Copies of this chain bind each other. A is one copy, B any other.
Amino acid sequence: MKSSTRYRIIPALFALLACHSLSGENGYRLWLRYDTIHDTVVLQAYHSALKQIMVEGHSGTLNAVIEELQNGLSGMLGQEIPLVSETITEGTLLIGTPASSDRIAALPVKDLLRRTGNDGFIIKTCLVSGKKCIVITANEDLGLMYGTFHFLRFLQTRQQIADIDVVSVPSVQFRLLNHWDNLNRTVERGYAGCSLWDWLLLPDTVSPRYKDYARANASIGINGAVLTNVNADALVLTPQYLEKTAALAEVFRPYGIKVYLTARFSAPVEVGGLSTADPLDPQVIDWWQKKADEIYRQIPDFGGFLVKANSEGQPGPQNYGRTHAEGANMLARALAPHGGIVMWRAFVYDSNVPEDRAKQAYDEFKPLDGKFSSNVFIQVKNGPIDFQPREPFHPLFGSMPGTPLMMEFQLTQEYLGQGTHLVYLAPLFKECLQSDTYAKGKGSEVARIIDGTLENHTITGMAGVSNIGTDSDWCGHPFAQSNWYAFGRLSWDLSLTADTIAEEWLRMTFTNNETFVIPVKQMMMGSREYAVNYMTPLGLHHIMARDHHHGPGPWVSEGRPDWTSVYYHRADTAGVGFDRTASGSDALSQYFPEVKQQYENPDSCPETLLLWFHHLPWDYRMTTGRTLWEELCHRYYEGADSVKKMQQTWKSLEGLIDKERFEQVNAMLSIQLKEAGWWRDACVLYFQSFSHRPIPEELEKPARSLEYYRNIKEPTIPGI
């Protein structure tokens, strides 16, 4: 009844509350945060080097460059940096191509520009009219945009800009996001809300978010987006939807993002009124040509088609007794006059269950090497199964020297904790890219196949299956943004390390405070291995729950065999693992001899891939001295323990970043810890039912029974 002192005003708390009622930090800005720099030394250095901006030339892209620079510089420097057009002074940021700017044409950059192509750029401290300036130049306006974002990143990560000398050229030419977005706005394997593309409101309403999407992509070098799901709907090829697609293309154009669509192979039947989609049928050929012409009339810079054919029930040329090459080339010919490309996916498996699904893509595509038109990519997933936490590199890499292969990475964490696990994927990407195929002897890394240098391809590309949706932070989990970022940065520069990218991203996304950056970078760098350990250690794979793939399901055994878990882990009382050596499926023979030789002997096979290639007895002795069974247990427990350590690290950093994202990640880590324990206990108990061996004494026993885990029902997981 009495009043209390509890509510005496505390100004700091008050401010917090007041702030909370506004939108707070919701992650919308991604890594493009231009908050004012508080370090006065840095700020002064930047101010003295950046007194004015001069952008020479006129285009939509240059308007976007100016807008970004003004936002970025005024934000970070805390005051407007004037945009000028006439007088060069000391500290001018001068931007232009030799064609648009006499001042730049007069600089000694011509030789350098011969190496930078269409997208590359130069950032260089130069004397212009006798004044010390920073110059961003390129052959095309788009290069100026990439250079601008690169330059802003310098400031965002607090690098010295007193004497810059950067020449940057992208490693690959096509740097694409693949959206598995359906026209009803659900997203297959998407864990961040609905599809960004509001098909109902397009083209009348163009969300401001489309531009921010384009900005984010351009800032990391991405230059294309396949808007629709590979499990495609032919409706998107009708005039009604092409008009909507054109509206998106218009927003993206200044940022150099081309739109691509997935082409449902049976579209000539479904929306064209034909009775066949046979790629050799003249009417079909004609339909696709007319369709391509129609598309390019509306979208002159349309990128092309991504096709999933004769895989998981999708129609394709094999329905008509034709090959993948005949199907792909028919589409490629329709696009070629307009400069478009076809990306034909190698992820195929048909209704016949193969002896080893890992072999199927190689078996189907290798014989077609050299038979594809010059504007066709074969788009190959990093590994031979399906985006597992760990896979060996795909055996097609190096095996189709006459065909440009496009890398397909999965940024969305279908098999790596979906919407709730902190798993930084750049180490996974790098592991694949750095794998040596030995296709042309030592030094034939996957990266050199992707960037075209090993086989001298004229087109090169990387695709990332995105997890971008309507969630306010775009990706659902604050750290899921890092995988989008890493994909873009890597596709621009395959030589970047996962560590460098993580640090850039952390500095731009959270803070430059090293008390935060250093331990969190460590977390990120370890996180993929932690997930491998608590999910699928030692080369296990494809033991997740059925359909939605959320959580463990090593017991899944019903239905089509190569969609079960038992098909892949082959656990029995003798041991565990898939024998892919000559005594088993012999999938290993799809690799070059040096690789095969290393992997076919369990003793020289990397332990990380042991059970991928070998079925080994439970008492097989590991390098640690433990038996295989003991090691398996230890890995599962280590994985879950690592999550606990991540959680402890994170909690210790409270106050160093905004409360909103701190708490969100904290909550997510709690879920991850719970789910890591779920994976660990379910898998250890399940495999124990074969090994008949005790869980090593030093490890805590699972609190629940295998039955408990087998009975978990999750019918409402998003992202299917």
Q: Is A101 an interface residue when CB atoms closer than 8 A count as contact?
A: yes
- Provide the bound-state CA to CA distance between A83 and B2, in Å: 15
A 45-58 to B, binary, CB cutoff 8 A, 1 in contact else 0: 00000000011111
A 654-666 to B, binary, CB cutoff 8 A, 1 in contact else 0: 0000001000100
Known: A71-B21, A82-B9. A667 touches B204 (CB 8 A): yes
Residue A183 contacts which of B80, B82, B86, B716 (CB distance < 8 angstroms)? B716
Residue A671 contacts which of B26, B100, B205, B235 (CB distance < 8 angstroms)? B205
A 1-32 to B, binary, CB cutoff 8 A, 1 in contact else 0: 11111111101001001101111101011000
Q: Could you give 27 example pairs across A and B, Cβ below 8 Å?
A: A1-B99, A2-B102, A3-B54, A3-B85, A3-B101, A5-B85, A7-B66, A9-B80, A11-B80, A14-B80, A18-B71, A20-B208, A23-B28, A24-B208, A185-B716, A185-B718, A193-B194, A200-B419, A200-B420, A200-B717, A201-B420, A201-B671, A204-B670, A205-B667, A208-B660, A235-B716, A470-B471
Q: Is A453 an interface residue when CB atoms closer than 8 A count as contact?
A: no
Q: Is A344 an interface residue when CB atoms closer than 8 A count as contact?
A: no
- Provide the bound-state CA to CA distance between A505 and B102, in Å: 57
Q: Is A300 an interface residue when CB atoms closer than 8 A count as contact?
A: no
- Number of identical monomers bound together in the oligomeric complex: 2
Q: Is A213 an interface residue when CB atoms closer than 8 A count as contact?
A: no
Known: A9-B83, A23-B26, A85-B3. A716 touches B674 (CB 8 A): no
- Provide the bound-state CA to CA distance between A208 and B420, in Å: 17
Q: Is A70 an interface residue when CB atoms closer than 8 A count as contact?
A: yes
- Provide the bound-state CA to CA distance between A674 and B54, in Å: 44
Whole-angstrom distance from the CB of A428 to the nearest CB of chain B?
A: 24
| B contact residues around A11 at 8 Å (CB) | 80
Q: Is A472 an interface residue when CB atoms closer than 8 A count as contact?
A: yes
Q: Is A314 an interface residue when CB atoms closer than 8 A count as contact?
A: no
A-B complex: 8 closest residue pairs judged by Cβ atoms: A3-B85, A205-B667, A183-B716, A21-B71, A184-B716, A7-B83, A204-B671, A9-B83
| B contact residues around A99 at 8 Å (CB) | 1
Query: Could you tell me if A14 and B718 are in contact, using CB atoms closer than 8 angstroms?
Result: no
| B contact residues around A23 at 8 Å (CB) | 23, 26, 28-29
Whole-angstrom distance from the CB of A23 to the nearest CB of chain B?
A: 6
- Provide the bound-state CA to CA distance between A621 and B420, in Å: 66
Q: Is A37 an interface residue when CB atoms closer than 8 A count as contact?
A: no
- Provide the bound-state CA to CA distance between A7 and B55, in Å: 8
| B contact residues around A559 at 8 Å (CB) | none
Query: Closest chain B residue to A205 by CB distance?
Result: B667
Known: A70-B14, A717-B200. A205 touches B54 (CB 8 A): no
Q: Using C-beta atoms within 8 Å of the partner chain, give the interface range for chain A.
A: 35 or more
Q: Is A337 an interface residue when CB atoms closer than 8 A count as contact?
A: no
Query: Could you tell me if A664 and B205 are in contact, using CB atoms closer than 8 angstroms?
Result: yes
Whole-angstrom distance from the CB of A657 to the nearest CB of chain B?
A: 16
| B contact residues around A4 at 8 Å (CB) | 58, 85
Query: Closest chain B residue to A472 by CB distance?
Result: B472
Residue A716 contacts which of B86, B199, B471 (CB distance < 8 angstroms)? B199
Q: Is A74 an interface residue when CB atoms closer than 8 A count as contact?
A: yes
Whole-angstrom distance from the CB of A213 to the nearest CB of chain B?
A: 14
Whole-angstrom distance from the CB of A160 to the nearest CB of chain B?
A: 26
- Provide the bound-state CA to CA distance between A199 and B716, in Å: 8
Query: Which of A8, A84, A208 has the most C-beta atoms of chain B within 10 angstroms of its own C-beta?
Result: A208
Which residues A291-345 have CB closer than 8 A to chain B? Answer: none
Query: Which of A29, A668, A716 has the most C-beta atoms of chain B within 10 angstroms of its own C-beta?
Result: A716
- Provide the bound-state CA to CA distance between A34 and B21, in Å: 10
Q: Is A75 an interface residue when CB atoms closer than 8 A count as contact?
A: yes
Known: A14-B80, A660-B208, A716-B184. A3 touches B74 (CB 8 A): no
Whole-angstrom distance from the CB of A133 to the nearest CB of chain B?
A: 14
| B contact residues around A235 at 8 Å (CB) | 715-716
Q: A1-B101, A3-B56, A8-B85 are in contact. List 11 more A-B contacts (CB 8 A).
A: A3-B101, A4-B58, A9-B80, A18-B71, A18-B74, A23-B29, A184-B716, A185-B716, A204-B667, A470-B470, A472-B472
Whole-angstrom distance from the CB of A643 to the nearest CB of chain B?
A: 14
Whole-angstrom distance from the CB of A230 to the nearest CB of chain B?
A: 17
| B contact residues around A420 at 8 Å (CB) | 200-201
A 466-482 to B, binary, CB cutoff 8 A, 1 in contact else 0: 00001110000000000
- Provide the bound-state CA to CA distance between A1 and B99, in Å: 7
Q: Is A165 an interface residue when CB atoms closer than 8 A count as contact?
A: no
Query: Closest chain B residue to A32 by CB distance?
Result: B21
Q: Is A355 an interface residue when CB atoms closer than 8 A count as contact?
A: no
| B contact residues around A716 at 8 Å (CB) | 182-185, 199-200, 235
| B contact residues around A74 at 8 Å (CB) | 14, 18
Whole-angstrom distance from the CB of A630 to the nearest CB of chain B?
A: 32
| B contact residues around A66 at 8 Å (CB) | 7
Query: Could you tell me if A17 and B70 are in contact, using CB atoms closer than 8 angstroms?
Result: yes
Query: Closest chain B residue to A74 by CB distance?
Result: B18
Query: Could you tell me if B718 and A184 are in contact, using CB atoms closer than 8 angstroms?
Result: yes
Residue A100 contacts which of B1, B55, B58, B199 (CB distance < 8 angstroms)? B1
Q: Is A350 an interface residue when CB atoms closer than 8 A count as contact?
A: no
- Provide the bound-state CA to CA distance between A9 and B83, in Å: 6
| B contact residues around A670 at 8 Å (CB) | 204
| B contact residues around A200 at 8 Å (CB) | 419-420, 716-718
- Provide the bound-state CA to CA distance between A57 and B57, in Å: 67
- Provide the bound-state CA to CA distance between A54 and B184, in Å: 52
Whole-angstrom distance from the CB of A669 to the nearest CB of chain B?
A: 10
| B contact residues around A208 at 8 Å (CB) | 20, 24, 660
A 193-216 to B, binary, CB cutoff 8 A, 1 in contact else 0: 110000111001110100000000
Q: Is A67 an interface residue when CB atoms closer than 8 A count as contact?
A: yes
Which residues A413-472 have CB closer than 8 A to chain B? Answer: 419-420, 470-472
